[in-house]
Structure 1
Amino acid sequence: MMNCYIYFKADSSLEADILKAEKQLQQLLMSQHQIRSRVQRRPAATGEPHTWMEVYHDVPVGFDNLLNRVLEQTLFADLQYSERHIEYFLDVDVCA
């Protein structure tokens, strides 16, 4: 299976808005596409930009296009944050 990891930075003052947008995004992906996800934030000092990580489990090929369509339906469209960096990883069975 393939997992997708996306990270970006946003001003710490946007934390409440980011959390609302992330909740909306996760709910849409689960209800529309049955894609499980979670969000994490790197610990940061007050006033510094926060680094956020989105983790999507068992995503289909072309997930970035699907995600972009869903993002347009969320509060992320109105937020100012850094470029989203996308990486994919495959599960590897080391016991085979």
Structure 2
Amino acid sequence: MNDLYIYYQVTEEHAAALELRVRAMQARLAGERGVNGQLKRRPEAADGLQTWMEIYPATPAGFDTALAAAVQDAALPELIAGKRHIEIFTDLHPCA
């Protein structure tokens, strides 16, 4: 299983609307896919932009495809300033 870390920027004027959309999307994904997402942001804004991060721990195979579809269904790109950056991490397994 992989952990997904997704970061992007949002203008302060779109922050409230985007938060509603992201939280609704995450609730739907939790119900449909069993992955409880987290939403975080940097405490400071720079030049009117906030940096946000979505975290999806221990995602099953195919979750990235479901997430991409959910992002489009929720119309997140219209409120995001720039691109969503996706980082994938996996656990390190200790040597036997």
Write the letter of the residue equivalent to 2:10: A
How much has 1:64 moved relative to structure 2? 2.5
Q: How does 1:1-96 map to 2 (within 5 A)?
A: 1-45=1-45, 48-76=48-76, 78-94=78-94
For the structure 1 residues 95 and 87, does the alpha-carbon distance in structure 2 shift closer, same or farther, using more than 3 Å as the test? same
Task: After superposition, give the CA deviation of every residue in 1:15-41 in whole Å (9 maximum; x if it has no partner).
Answer: 111210111111110111111110000
SS where residue 57 of structure 1 aligns? strand
CA distance in 2 between counterparts of 1:81 and 1:61 reads 29
Give per-residue Cα distances to partners, 1:55-81, cap 9 Å, x unaligned.
001112343321111123224254242
Shift of 1:94: 4.3
Deviates more, 1:12-21 or 1:61-70: 61-70
Gapped regions of structure 2 (runs ≥ 5):
none
Two-structure CA RMSD over aligned residues (Å): 2.0
Contact 1:20 1:75 in 2 (8 A): no
Alpha-carbon deviation of 1:43? 1.5
Mind listing any 5+ residue stretches in structure 1 that lack a counterpart? none
Code of the residue aligned with 1:92 in structure 2: it is L
Percent of pairs with identical residues: 31
